Structure 1
Amino acid sequence: MSSRQGLSAGLAVGLIAAALALSGCSGMSGEDTGGDVDPTGTWGDAEAEGSPYLELADGGGLTGTDGCNRLTGTWSINEADQVEFEDVASTKMACADVDDWLSGLHTAEVANDTMTVLGEDGSPIGTLDRTE
């Protein structure tokens, strides 16, 4: 192998290693990126019919309801110590007299036992209290 080929191979390996290291900086599902946020548990009253709630599991699983429709997806903690909701799917039932604000979730901020849910534009759309 010529020194030029060795240099090219070494450069390629270095670039791959750098890319892998940088990709490790983004939060994985359920991964805490170093902040003090622990959103695992139940948010809202899961027993009250027609009430929104979320269950955030260790490992990044998300289930819940907006009060009418079932929600499922994943979550992670982003670099701003916000809960980031990802790949959220929902049923599409029509329910009378249900405020389905939670279906607009994008991120959330957790302070003590209150989760402030933010929409895609970053505006608060509602709050949920930790129940478990």
Structure 2
Amino acid sequence: MARTIRRAPARFIGGAAVAAAALALLAGCAGTPSGAALVGTWGSTAAQQPNLTIQNDGAFSGTDGCNRLSGKGTVDGDTITFGPIASTMMACQGVDEWLAKASSGTAKGSTLVVYDINGNEIGKLDKSK
């Protein structure tokens, strides 16, 4: 007994091809991944200067100029909300330890603007090159 092979209508195949092309185009135009502007090192790595390195997953580490800082934050676009900040507790004279009080930060061009828990700007860090 002969088997009959059914073909999909031409308009179905054409529609599927258009949909596949549209998906490929959208994937290629997705742009910068969320948080990409935040990834990298901010601030000076010179002694007694604040700096912060932020990873793709929101993990961060750095120093307030005296104490080592680390933790994991939540990234939403160009803003990071810092999770609990683990810090060493060394006593350093003449160092402003403002970075340890960070609650969030927003990348604005080549500057990371840092805010405290009340939303007040407490400092800025320039992106390291």
> Structure 2 length normalisation: TM-score?
0.69
Corresponding position: 1:93 with 2:86? no
Match for residue 108 of structure 2 among 111, 121, 127: 111
Q: Write the deviation string for residues 33-79 of structure 1: whole angstroms up to 9, x where unpaired.
A: x7576200000011x10000000112222110000000010122237
* Structure 1 ranges of 4+ moved more than 6 A: none
Which AA in structure 2 matches 1:65?
Answer: T
Corresponding position: 1:126 with 2:94? no
Partner in structure 2 of residue 60 of structure 1: 58
Partner in structure 2 of residue 83 of structure 1: 80
Partner in structure 2 of residue 39 of structure 1: 38
Q: Which blocks of at least 5 consecutive residues in structure 1 are unaligned? A: 1-33
Partner in structure 2 of residue 72 of structure 1: 70
Q: Residue 37 of structure 1 contacts residue 110 of structure 1 at CA under 8 Å; is this kept in 2?
A: no
Q: Which blocks of at least 5 consecutive residues in structure 2 are unaligned? A: 1-32
Q: CA deviation at 1:110?
A: 1.1
- Distance in 2 of aligned mates of 1:60 and 1:108: 12
- Distance in 2 of aligned mates of 1:36 and 1:67: 25
What is the identity percentage for the equivalent residue pairs of Structure 1 and Structure 2?
A: 37
> Structure 1 length normalisation: TM-score?
0.67
Q: Residue 43 of structure 1 contacts residue 128 of structure 1 at CA under 8 Å; is this kept in 2?
A: yes
- Distance in 2 of aligned mates of 1:58 and 1:77: 8
Which AA in structure 1 matches 2:47?
Answer: E
